[in-house]
Amino acid sequence: MLPSASSYEALVQAFRWQVPRQYNIGVDVCDRWAQAEPGRLALIHRRPDGGVEEYTFADIRARSNETANLLRELGIGLGDRVGILLGQRPETAYSHVAVYKLGAIAVPLFTLFGLEALAYRLAHSGARAVITDAEGAAKIRAVREELPALEVVLTVDGPEAGCLDFHALRRQASADFVPVATQADDPALILYTSGTTGPPKGALHAHRTLLGHLPGVEMSHDLFPQPGDRIWTPADWAWIGGLYDVLMPAWHHGIAVVSHRFAKFDPEAAFQLLADFQVRNAFLPPTALKMMRAVERPARRWNYQMRSIASGGETLGAELLDWGRRTFGLTINEFYGQTECNMVISSCAALMPAKPGVMGRPVPGHRVAVLGEAGEPLPPGQVGQIAVRGPDPVMFLEYWDNPQATADKYLGDWLLTGDMGILDEEGYIRFVGRNDDVIISGGYRIGPGEIEDCLMGHPAVKLAAAVGVPDPLRGQAVKAFLVLQEGWAPGPELVQEIQAYVKVRLAAHEYPRQIAFVDTLPMTATGKIMRRKLREQG
């Protein structure tokens, strides 16, 4: 999608959106390549038992067509919602392709959802069918009475009580299928947001959202694709980061994707995977990077050859950037977005210098600004809300069955992210924090990201989170929750040492006046720190 350019400014000037009126994600990422290069490698899957399976684009086309025919035979059609409750595995990928080609709406579901979370999303979306495994089928059986719209459950692990055998029926279906001629603005999937208040909201996206993602993916991977590229992410395909920052964009470009589901993220196993499968590109959330940073001398132990690493979800700081250069010989590119409007800001080491603690600049094609309380674009140096101006191909259509929340998301043509940021003189945007994460202490507005980055520079600190807690004098005080590296013990002397460390490196009003040592930090499934839960702990 991005034109050739030698600078960011030239890229912005030359960029034009290319969104055809008629467009289908499944045809784009699968059938187009299967017809042009049927033997082209699409997926390399390492099973939990260590075995490896490879799939060409012709394989994906045949299996997705069989799945689409199967769903159609079961009565699923245009606009029907289909839940996909599977981890990183081939069936997940080609089930998505099948749903898109059928003109139905995919509802990605995380395999670690509890019963309540799963039941809410299936009921709220009105899913008529679910494709899952034995573990997911057991969960659905437990809540089936709460799901009046659900008609059929297909299991990829063979026959299950109250379910149909997915593979047995798929193999009986035809491998020929004529995709529905969807428009670019027709709905394709519902992605549920975790949100800060109220129940999760279902962000309904159109087929065009994949095209809207492409400039940000290409920019965050130093002008992806390049010859020899092969991509992997530990991020689950149930989330926008795994599905639309990696899998679907890679297949749009005909690039092979490596898939493997870690039962629990293992940083040493991650390095091994990068080496074993000659991965060249990766989306690694900051939490994964921090865990990998604790591995000793990885470059001496594994023969990996990375070309690009992108990261998003939490701000990267100087410590992680420096570690990335030492470990991989490259600069990790940070990007920014959210479920409703993703990949709109990015850094790109191939075109611009990295700035620690800064997300990057607006991706070509996206109009991003920092707004004041009245909705006016703010000049550089002032804290405001990050907003994206519509229309924009990557922007969601609406919140499913929630017109009020949809209306509240916009201020005129501006989509409000709910995140606070600062624009600098060169057009870079620094993330300050969520509206409810910003700490106001003694009249100062303090973003937790900068404090956490500084804390991570101390040799004792493995993971850090900063929140605001009530303070009778200042309104709020900064409190840090710290997970220590092995070999360090909590105590008052260490508290004073860390406080002094931050005070010297940031400012007197930003150091944590309170420090709590904890074994773990509460995280979302995508690796974001749940600061709300820490604030509730006080």
Question: pLDDT, tens digit, for every residue of 423-477?
Answer: 999 999 998 877 778 787 876 768 888 799 889 999 999 999 999 999 887 888 9
32-45 burial by CB neighbour count: b if 16+ within 10 A, else e?
A: bbbeeeeeebbbbb
Is residue 359 very low, low, confident or very high in pLDDT (cuts 50, 70, 90)?
A: very high
Q: Does 194 have pLDDT greater than 70? A: no
| DSSP type of residue 331 | P
Q: Per-residue pLDDT for 313 more than 80? A: no
| pLDDT of 161 | 94
Residue 179 pLDDT > 80, yes or no? yes
What Rg, from alpha-carbon coordinates, does the chain have? 23
Nearest CA among 85, 126, 77 for reference residue 108: 85
Q: How confident is the model at residue 116 (pLDDT cuts 50, 70, 90)?
A: confident
pLDDT at res. 113: 85
> What is the rounded average pLDDT of the residues 505-523?
91
The yes/no answer on whether domain 437-537 falls in CATH 3.30.300.30 is yes
Residue 401 — left, alpha, or beta (φ > 0 → left; ψ -120 to 50 → alpha)?
left
CA atoms within 13 A of residue 306's CA, in its CB half-sphere: 29
**What confidence tens digit (pLDDT) does each residue in 62-91 have?**
999 999 999 999 999 999 999 999 999 999
Query: What does the block give as tokens for 122?
Result: 């299936």
| pLDDT value at residue 198 | 57
Tell me what the mean pLDDT of segment 143-165 comes to. Answer: 97
Most confidently predicted of 3-7, 221-225, 436-440:
221-225
Q: Give whole-number Cα distances, 311 to 110, 253, 430, in Å.
A: 20, 20, 15
What integer is the mean pLDDT of 311-322? 85
Q: What is the mean pLDDT of residues 355-383?
A: 95
What is the model's pLDDT at position 443? Answer: 65
Residue 421: the pLDDT is 95
**Longest CA–CA separation in the chain, Å:** 71
pLDDT digits (tens, 9 = 90+) for 240-298: 999 999 999 999 999 999 999 898 899 999 999 999 999 999 999 888 898 899 999 99
Say if residue 533 is exposed, middle or buried (CB neighbours under 10 Å; 0-12, 13-18, 19+): middle
Q: Is the pLDDT of residue 372 over 90?
A: yes
Q: Edge-to-edge strands of the sheet including 333-338?
A: 52-56, 41-46, 257-259, 231-232, 281-283, 308-312, 333-338, 341-346, 361-362
Length reported for the chain: 538
| Separation of alpha carbons 10 and 7, rounded Å | 5
Nearest Cα neighbor of 30 from 255, 259, 252 is 252
- Kindly state the average pLDDT of the residues 138-162: 96
| Helices (H), ranges, 259-297 | 267-276, 286-293
Mean pLDDT value across residues 107-124: 91
Average pLDDT, stretch 482-505?
95
Compute φ and ψ for 501, nearest 5 degrees. Answer: -60, -45
Start-to-end C-alpha separation, the chain: 47
One-letter amino acid for residue 36 of the chain? A
CA-to-CA distance for 245 and 257, rounded, in angstroms?
A: 12
What pLDDT is attached to residue 197?
A: 47
The mean predicted confidence, pLDDT, of the chain is 94
C-alpha distances in Å from residue 497, one per residue of 38, 361, 493, 494, 504: 61, 36, 6, 5, 11
Which residues contact residue 127 at a Cβ distance below 8 angstroms, ignoring those fewer than 6 apart?
81, 82, 83, 107, 147, 149, 150
**pLDDT of amino acid 445:** 67
User: Token digits for 146?
Assistant: 């709460």
Can you tell me whether residue 190 is helix, strand or coil?
strand
Indicate the pairing of strand 152-155 with strand 129-132: parallel
The predicted structure's pLDDT at residue 196: 42
Mean pLDDT calculated for residue range 331-339 = 95
Domain 24-182 has CATH 3.40.50.12280: no
Best-predicted range by mean pLDDT (112-126, 309-323, 367-381): 367-381
Domain extents for the chain? 24-182, 437-537
**325-328 contacts at long range (C-beta below 8 A, 24 or more positions apart):** 327/292, 327/293, 327/298, 327/299, 328/304
Given 3-state DSSP classes, what are the helix, strand and coil percentages for the chain, each rounded to the nearest 5?
A: 30, 25, 40
